[in-house]
Amino acid sequence: MATSIRPPRTGLDPVLALILQRIGIGFGLILAISALLFLGIEALPGDFARNFLGQSATPQAVANIRAELGLDEPAILRYFEWLGGVLTGDFGTSWANGSSVNEQLGKRLANTLFLAAVAAVVAVPLSIGLGMLAVFFRDRLPDRLINIVSLIAISMPEFFVGYLLIFFFALQLGIGDGPPIIPSPGASLWENVQLVFLPAMTLVVVVLAHMMRMTRASILNIMQSAYVETAELKGLSPLRIIWKHAAPNAIAPIINVVALNLAYLVVGVVVVEVIFAYPGMGQYFVDAVTVRDMPVVQACGIVFAGVYIVLNMLADVGAILANPRLRHPK
């Protein structure tokens, strides 16, 4: 995605111009996403009043809730009312329990980012390292082993990996905590890192293979090129060739796949959150969708979209910085 986009010709530094342009597009995208989300919730069968009361709904109770929340007003009016609030930085209050969305979102997002960060700190260096190792030993036993193990890991659904880790580590070996895992703000960083050990490992297993294989493939691709052959003929050691010559040129696709996986660690972890009963964004989002709690759904949707957009932007910028040809457009 990154390499095909060319920065505009302006007087500004091209990288800066690109970032500014991306930020502008990002805001437009988020606005469009909020409208789509709103439409989506409207299109879902049953409104908040019906879903919130569930099986115990009576027509009178439904009518009373609708009247109180103004659900009888036209959809477009409600959307702009909500948008007005958001532009002032206020996501409003949850329809279901009246709690402040900003406050809840803050806590939940912190939990999600914390878990994602712990997983990323392990997964990114590990997968890139393993990818390089696989290239170094290509077609020999270590390469095969790395490939097989990572393929097995990626083939197992996350909930299964999670259950396996809970069973073997938390229940049998007594290492790490099983569900529920609730980080407490009072505990030290290290205590919380230990607490999220198992869910973080589950995520590592899930994202590892994707990044590892992309690293391996990109570097192998570069290894076919003439200058690597030259380096070999110069008599450089294979590790040095990979590290010094191949890796920097393979970095753009690697950065992209890393960014994609980092985004996944933030927005795609709902399954892991459920099986570890971890209070992150995913559960917050799903609970809200279940009862059509519009302010919460919108807020979560926007945060998720924002994370995706920011990470992709960083990936593009990273790719450009890593590639001098993109830095100096003709």
Partner 1 sequence: MTHDLDVLARHCAKGRVSRRTFLARAAALGVAAPVAARVLGHAEAQAATPIKGGDLVLGNAGGSTTDSLDPASWASQVPLNFSRTWAETLVFTDPNDGSAQPMLAESWEASADAKTWAFKIRKGVTFHNGREMTVEDVVASLQRHSNEDAKSGALGIMKTIGSDFSADGDNLVVKLETANADLPFLLSDYHLAIQPGGGFEAPDAGIGTGAYIIEVNEPGVRHTAVKNPNHWNPDVGHYDSVTVLVINDDTARIAALTSGKAHTINRVAPKTVDLLRRAPGVAINNVSGRGHYVFINHIDTEPFTNNDLRLALKFAVDREELVDKILNGLGSVGNDFPINGAYALFPEEIEQRPFDPDQAAFHYKKSGHDGSPIVLRTSNAAFPGAEDAAVLYQASCQKAGIPLEIKREPADGYWSNVWNTQPFCVSYWGGRPTQDQMYSVAYQSTADWNDTRFKRDDFDKLLIEARGELDQTRRKELYTEMALTLRDEGGLILPMFNDFVDAATDRLKGQVLDPAGGMSNGYIGLRTWLDDA
Q: Kindly state the number of chain residues that form the binding site for partner 1, as judged by CB under 8 A.
A: 48
Q: Choose, by CB under 8 A, the member of 127, 150, 261, 283 that binds partner 1.
A: 283
As a whole number of angstroms, the distance between CA 272 and CA 260 comes to 18
User: For residues 149-168, b (16+ Cβ closer than 10 Å) or e, as one string?
Assistant: ebeebbeeebeebbeebbee
Three-state helix/strand/coil letters over the chain: CCCCCCCCCCCCCHHHHHHHHHHHHHHHHHHHHHHHHHHHHHHCCCCHHHHHHHHHCCHHHHHHHHHHHCCCCCHHHHHHHHHHHHHCCCCCECCCCCCEHHHHHHHHHHHHHHHHHHHHHHHHHHHHHHHHHHHHCCCCHHHHHHHHHHHHHHHCCHHHHHHHHHHHHHHHHCCCCCCCCCCCCCCCHHHHHHHCHHHHHHHHHHHHHHHHHHHHHHHHHHHCCHHHHHHHHHCCCHHHHHHHHHHHHHHHHHHHHHHHHHHHHHHCCHHHHHHCCCCCHHHHHHHHHHHCCHHHHHHHHHHHHHHHHHHHHHHHHHHHHHCHHHHCCC
We find the least distance from the C-beta atom of residue 134 to partner 1, in angstroms, to be 34
Nearer Cβ to partner 1, position 253 or 279?
Answer: 279
Q: Give the footprint of partner 1 on residues 163-202 (CB under 8 A).
A: 163, 166-167, 170-171, 177-180, 182
Q: Which of the ranges 76-84, 96-104, 253-261, 320-328 carries the binding residues for partner 1, by CB under 8 A?
A: 96-104
Residue 91 sits in the site that holds partner 1 (CB under 8 A)? no
Site string for partner 1, 104-133 (x = CB under 8 A): x-----------------------------
Q: Which residues are CB-contacts of 225 (< 8 A; sequence separation ≥ 6)?
A: none
Q: Choose, by CB under 8 A, the member of 8, 9, 97, 327 that binds partner 1.
A: 97
Residue 218 sits in the site that holds partner 1 (CB under 8 A)? no
Residue 60 sits in the site that holds partner 1 (CB under 8 A)? yes
Residue 58 sits in the site that holds partner 1 (CB under 8 A)? yes
Residue 155 sits in the site that holds partner 1 (CB under 8 A)? no
Q: Choose, by CB under 8 A, the member of 54, 84, 106, 142 that binds partner 1.
A: 54
Q: Choose, by CB under 8 A, the member of 50, 243, 268, 317 that binds partner 1.
A: 50
We find the least distance from the C-beta atom of residue 35 to partner 1, in angstroms, to be 22
Q: Choose, by CB under 8 A, the member of 2, 18, 94, 200 that binds partner 1.
A: 94
Residue 269 sits in the site that holds partner 1 (CB under 8 A)? no
Residue 100 sits in the site that holds partner 1 (CB under 8 A)? no
We find the least distance from the C-beta atom of residue 124 to partner 1, in angstroms, to be 28
Nearer Cβ to partner 1, position 116 or 272?
Answer: 272
Enumerate binding residues for partner 1 (CB under 8 A): 44-46, 50-61, 64-65, 68, 94, 96-99, 104, 163, 166-167, 170-171, 177-180, 182, 274-277, 279, 283-284, 287-291, 293, 296
